[in-house]
Amino acid sequence: MAAPVPTLVGSIVENASDGSVAVPNTTPPAVGDYLVAFIGAYANGGSRALDTPVGWTRGVEQDSDEQICAVFTKRAVLADTTAPSFPFTISGGGADVFSACVIKVTNVPVGSEIAASEIDIEDPGSGSLFSYVSNSAAVTAESLALMMFMGANNGLSAAPTIATYASTPARSWSELADIGATNGGSTDPTMAFAVASAPNTGTSPITLRTAECDLALNDARRSILIILNGTEDAAGTAALLAATPTIFTPVGHAGTSGSAAPLQATPTIFVPVGSEDSPSEKWSGEALPETDWENEPLP
């Protein structure tokens, strides 16, 4: 068996975005890698929605609010290995802050990629601690947990950062991206956005996940958890096929007894029977008349 292994492909954050970003393909995937994109945006006072890019599948998400987020997934094809970037867009207008990252994951089985996913929404949130009750479990003995945290506030002059990821049961979390931003003014929109991953052993559910921001985020907050299955090797033995023929013993009887004499051929000889007729006249033996050769002259 093999556990899924994540690698950051690229990330981007824009202030005063026009509603479109292109995540740079910094560490390109290989054909067959499983791609996971986490997207978040904050449009103060507006209502927005994320578009689903061509070729991607939309997962859990939150739209039609100031603070929107979603996870998109796809299996990498040949074109993804050389693409300069991966574009994502917002419908309904731009955003004060727009963050996005793409992660490639190896050893994810085809057709059984996602074991579980969930989203938590706070409107509004409060403080610097993210803490959410969960109930997501893997299907395979080795899997990968990915979680995203985002939150917004106005009036923060510095870009917030997120750290100190934890879960129950305890897992070894590593940060893949921390791409929060602020427009820099004392009343401008500010958004924190980060993604972390952890190897997940066994099939017990994750019941709690937390993270700590360095600044208080008192506007809306979001969190996404997704668990990816790992590949498993089949175990067993293959016995040789042994054919066991069944031999039937015939049982029967003739119904009589006796002896069989050899066949003797007795020919029938046909005796021909017939008669022969012969004429009744025979030569009389009478002498021819005498001729006097001497007395007759020659002609």
Q: How confident is the model at residue 277 (pLDDT cuts 50, 70, 90)?
A: low
Q: What mean pLDDT do residues 163-188 have? A: 88
pLDDT value for 240: 61
Instruction: Kindly report the number of other CB atoms within 10 A of residue 110's CB atom.
Output: 9
Dist. CA 54–CA 50, nearest whole Å: 13
Q: What is the pLDDT of residue 206?
A: 96
Q: Which of 69-83, 162-176, 184-198, 234-248 bottoms out in mean pLDDT, i.e. has the lowest?
A: 234-248
Residues 164 and 211: beta-carbon distance below 8 Å: yes
- Tell me the pLDDT of the chain averaged across its residues: 85
Give, rounded to a whole angstrom, the gap between the first and last alpha carbons of the chain.
149
pLDDT band at 279 (very low <50, low <70, confident <90, very high): low
Task: Tell me what pLDDT residue 283 has.
Answer: 45
User: Rounded to 5 degrees, what angle do the CA atoms 39, 24, 113 make?
Assistant: 55
Residue 72 neighbours by CB distance under 10 Å: 22
**For residue 284, pLDDT beyond 80:** no
User: What percent of the chain has a predicted confidence (pLDDT) above 70?
Assistant: 77
Question: What pLDDT is attached to residue 16?
Answer: 87
Mean pLDDT in residue range 107-134: 93
Give the number of other Cβ atoms within 10 Å of residue 66's Cβ.
19
Contact 144, 220 (CB under 8 A): no
Q: Supply the DSSP string of 205-242, one letter for each residue.
A: PEEEEEEEESS---S-EEEEEEEEEPB-------PPP-
C-alpha–C-alpha distance, residues 146 and 123, integer Å: 23
**pLDDT of the residue at 289:** 52
What confidence score (pLDDT) does residue 207 get? 97
For 57, the token pair is 């599948």
260-286 average pLDDT score = 59
Query: Domain ranges in the chain?
Result: 5-229
Mean pLDDT of 6-35: 96
Q: Is the pLDDT of residue 128 over 90?
A: yes
Give the integer Cα–Cα distance in Å for 67 and 188.
15
Question: What pLDDT, in 10s, does the model give residues 129-142?
Answer: 999 999 999 999 99
Specify burial of residue 246 (Cβ count, 10 A radius: 0-12, 13-18, 19+): exposed
Both tokens of residue 45?
């006072």
Classify residue 266 as exposed, middle or buried by CB count within 10 Å of its CB (0-12, 13-18, 19+): exposed
Q: What percent of the chain has pLDDT over 90?
A: 59
For the whole model, what pTM was predicted?
0.77
Mean pLDDT to the nearest integer, 231-246: 68
Residue 38 pLDDT > 70: yes
Helices (H), the chain: 78-82
Mean pLDDT, to the nearest integer, of 252-259? 60
Q: How confident is the model at residue 263 (pLDDT cuts 50, 70, 90)?
A: low
pLDDT exceeds cutoff 60 at 278: no
Top-confidence residue, 192 or 280: 192
pLDDT of 257 above 90: no
Closest of 169, 111, 147 to residue 227, by C-alpha? 147
Q: Which residue has the higher pLDDT, 255 or 103?
A: 103
Does residue 176 contact residue 8 with C-beta atoms inside 8 Å? yes
Q: What is the mean pLDDT of residues 69-79?
A: 98
Contacts of 267 (CB under 8 A, 6+ apart): none
